[in-house]
Amino acid sequence: MNMRIKAALFDMDGVLVDNAHMHVKSFEVMYDRFQVPDAERKNVMDFMGCGLAEVLNSMFSPEVIEEKGFDFLCYEKERIYREIYAPTIHPIEGLVELLQKLKKEGVKCAVGSSGCIENVRFVLEKCQIAECFDAVVSGDQVSRCKPDPEIYQVAAQKLGVAPADCLVFEDAMVGIESAHRAGVEHVIALTTSFSIPELEAVHPEHIVRDFTEICDDML
């Protein structure tokens, strides 16, 4: 098979794993623990794909952040997420098979996530796919998270390929924007977190339910 791409860049949340509900649940636990009134609670899905710092500053009031401490809130949110997700975590259907195909064809793979490195390692290890990736870029390894293009620019650079020669797998509008701004022409969106009309608004090349719908022509 002669693939048109030299590298595949994968977002993590909503792409390697279908985990939006677990991020929502972890914030619900946080809200309950810190007794945040219902009227002040925000929908984490409104910030999906962004870096944790931006999400926390949007989800919690300045008063809560000052009282609890920003670093503590970051640590607790991700600790709770990993704790409640560990028993049921599994890769999205068809992912392992696709990674094996890409490796066989000599296509380099990288993770490009706004998530922290601890969460990336957690997903890769629990899903037993760490060896499938040649590079990892996490949100705490860059100065600007998505929709800024830095994450995908750095991921392509680590693989030694031009962004134009990459295919990006994303689930969020901010991630698709990040890929396009990085110079990536080929983006496939998964419908794990957002609807088809929402994804169509940012013009991915293809939209699929999961990796079982990926055909050779898309690669």
**Cβ(40)–Cβ(64) below 8 Å:** no
Whether 71 has a pLDDT exceeding 70, the answer reads yes
| Closest by CA position to 7, among listed 187, 136, 163, 150 | 163
| Closest by CA position to 16, among listed 109, 150, 148 | 109
Q: Which residue stretches of the chain are H helix? A: 20-33, 52-59, 62-68, 70-85, 95-104, 117-126, 150-159, 173-182, 196-200
Q: Report which residue type is found at 133.
A: F
Residue 6's contacts (CB-CB under 8 Å, 6 or more residues apart) are 107, 108, 159, 161, 165, 166
88-104: pLDDT as tens digits: 999 999 999 999 999 99
Query: Which residue did the predictor score with more confidence, 162 or 36?
Result: 162
Whether 178 has a pLDDT exceeding 80, the answer reads yes
166-175: pLDDT as tens digits: 999 999 999 9
Q: Tell how many helices (H) and how many strands (E) occur in the chain.
A: 9, 6
Whether pTM > 0.75 for this model: the answer is: yes
Would you call 43 helix, strand, or coil by DSSP? coil
36 band by pLDDT with thresholds 50, 70 and 90: confident
Segment holding 65, helix H or strand E: helix 62-68
What pLDDT is attached to residue 60? 84
Cis bond before residue 87 (omega within 30° of 0):
no
What pLDDT is attached to residue 113? 96
Cis bond before residue 147 (omega within 30° of 0):
yes
1 band by pLDDT with thresholds 50, 70 and 90: low
